[in-house]
Amino acid sequence: MRVLVIGSGYVGLVAAVCFAEGGNQVLGVDVDGAKVAALSKGKSPIFEPGLEELLAKHLASKTLRFSTELMPAMGDVDVAFICVGTPQSEDGSADMKYVLAVAGEIGEGMALRSPDAPPLVVVDKSTVPVGTAARVHAEIARHTDRAFEVVSNPEFLREGSALGDFLEPDRVVVGCRTDHAEAIMKALYQPFLDRSGGKWFRMDPPSAELTKYAANAMLALRISFINEIANLAESVGADVDHVKTAIGADHRIGPAFLNPGPGFGGSCFPKDLQALLKVGREQGHPLMTLAATVEANRHQKQVLLRKVKAHFGVKGGTPAPLKGRRFALWGLAFKADTDDIRESMALELIDGLVNLGAEVVVHDFAAMEAVQARIGDRVRYAATPLEACEGADALLIATEWADYRKADLEAVGKALKARRIFDGRNLFRPEAMEAAGWTYHSLGRRAVQGP
Ligand SMILES: NC(=O)c1ccc[n+]([C@@H]2O[C@H](COP(=O)([O-])OP(=O)(O)OC[C@H]3O[C@@H](n4cnc5c(N)ncnc54)[C@H](O)[C@@H]3O)[C@@H](O)[C@H]2O)c1
């Protein structure tokens, strides 16, 4: 099958590479010339395990190409995926200008297709509000009377495990109106579903569009819920690890997404929740659980800063106790295995500490460049996790990179000025930390005071 993938960001690039892996002829298009040039040389602009290897493989076999131009491909592609960004507008809604611009280009390109070509299947893969398939259809139809159908195919990949999620999906959701469109989509995805045993869901486009937002809202709600339970557990002397394991064993609840953390961030949840809240308000169905989820998360993003302030005796507006103190911060990405720092709580933590007069020395395995581009010398950058700890008053952990869990804590203890950790990811057990003489603050478990 000849596949056009428009937008080569996290979603578009992964989709392009994976469809090539599925045996298709793929052209990836992006307006960013530098990105296209890098991709054409096999250099991925994003950190994603395994991506560069697959990219190199399919560039070499010539099943995958990149270009800044979609027009030359329009004559003979079978399917065109729209994978451009849908950032948050000022009023919270999803900004559709990139999606609609691409729809307009596709509409113009339809003239290059033979009048008796089968209908072009145009796929919204970007996360878009309900009704977008109809808007994209109307935009394309303004330019052409040739046959096409707009399909909604929301993407559920997670940054950090994007290739696995795409190549072995739990489910594929396709909102379409004709068997022709379903057949094209099935031909693309069936090899992946065969591998994973995942489920195929055909539905109407609005249902597919809402499915994506509902999935993200549900996941975010679970995170905010367990964070609140963790905060309460600390107050009442309970241990959230016991609580989450026991409630997760209930098959109606399940164990996933029940890890307390320093608040969710990233490129999807915050903006998708705002977009869904906006739709709810517009439709006269305000989504109250979702509003509470967002509010709880805003509070949670300050959790580590609150613990640091309480520990060092910062009261009211008096910053003095943190002035001149140094903190090591492990983790800048909004979660492990990605270099994405969009809405990362680490950035809020840095702001809070620096505004109180503290110095922050940061480390991350993938996101240092992105942070440097964003905040420059507001912090110092350490080449290794241990170097960040040299002479610091405490270590703060914001991202759950597996290598932090495996760190040599004895060496860390020697590098720090005091054996003190504020752990926003619960990487260690309080009992072990207590036995090793640490002061250790984590989420939803008892705090341990060192000797
Ligand atoms: N990142 C994720 O984990 C994820 C997961 C599921 C769904 N999504 C959704 O997928 C969509 C894309 O997200 P992303 O993270 O890949 O975004 P991104 O910002 O990483 O990439 C978007 C790309 O589109 C390009 N672009 C913009 N206008 C273009 C045009 N007219 N023609 C060609 N290229 C154009 C940009 O240059 C950029 O490279 C969003 O709606 C997002 O919500 C993202």
pLDDT at 314: 87
Hey, is 300 helix, strand or coil?
helix
User: Per residue in 57-66, pLDDT tens?
Assistant: 999 999 999 9
Ligand 1 near 27 CB (within 6 A): no
CA 176 to each of CA 103, 201, 244, 310, 371: distance values in angstroms, whole numbers, following the listed order: 17, 10, 39, 54, 41
**Which of 13, 14, 84, when mutated, tests ligand 1's pocket best, judged by the most ligand atoms within 8 Å of its CB?**
84
What value, to the nearest 5°, has the Cα angle with vertex 326 and ends 323 and 327?
120
Return the amino acid letter for 196. Answer: S
What pLDDT, on a 0 to 100 scale, did the predictor assign at position 104? 98
pLDDT of res. 317: 66
Cα–Cα distance measured from residue 51 to residue 61, given in angstroms and rounded to the nearest whole number: 16
Q: What is the pLDDT of residue 451?
A: 87
155 lines ligand 1 (CB under 6 A): yes
Give residue 320's pLDDT.
85
Q: Which atom of ligand 1 is nearest to the CA of 8?
A: 39
Low-confidence residues of the chain, pLDDT below 50? none
Q: What is the DSSP letter of 88?
A: B
Mutate to test the pocket of ligand 1, among 17, 29, 30 (most ligand atoms within 8 A of CB): 30
Task: Considering the candidates 83, 176, 268, 389, report the single residue annotated as catalytic.
Answer: 268
For the entire predicted model, the pTM comes to 0.93
Q: Is 6 in the pocket of ligand 1 (CB under 6 A)?
A: yes
**Interatomic CA distance for residues 350 and 275, integer angstroms:** 27
What is the phi/psi pair of residue 232, to 5°?
-70, -40
407-414 own/partner pairs: CB under 8 Å, 24+ apart = 409/436, 409/438, 410/436, 411/386, 412/385, 412/386, 413/437, 413/438
86 Cα: distance to centroid of ligand 1 (angstroms): 7
Q: Whose CA is closest to atom 4 on ligand 1?
A: 11
393-409 in b/e form (b: 16+ CB < 10 A) is bbbbbbbbbeebeebeb
- In the chain, the percentage of residues whose pLDDT exceeds 90 is 97
The closest of 386, 389, 390 to 406, measured between CA atoms, is 386
Task: Please tell me if the CB atom of residue 70 comes closer than 6 angstroms to any atom of ligand 1.
Answer: no
Task: Please work out, in degrees rounded to the nearest 5, the angle formed at the alpha carbon of residue 65 by the alpha carbons of 64 and 66.
Answer: 135
Cβ neighbours, 10 Å, residue 184: 24
Average pLDDT score over the chain: 96
> Is 83 touching ligand 1 by the criterion CB < 6 Å?
yes
Query: What does the CA dihedral 200, 264, 253, 156 come to, rounded to 10 degrees?
Result: 0
- Whether ligand 1 lies within 6 angstroms of the CB of 124 is answered as no
How confident is the model at residue 5, as a pLDDT? 98
| pLDDT tens by residue, 366-417 | 999 999 999 999 999 999 999 999 999 999 999 999 999 999 999 999 999 9
User: In the chain, what are the domains?
Assistant: 2-203 (3.40.50.720), 213-298 (1.10.1040.10), 301-441 (3.40.50.720)
Q: Is 268 a catalytic residue?
A: yes
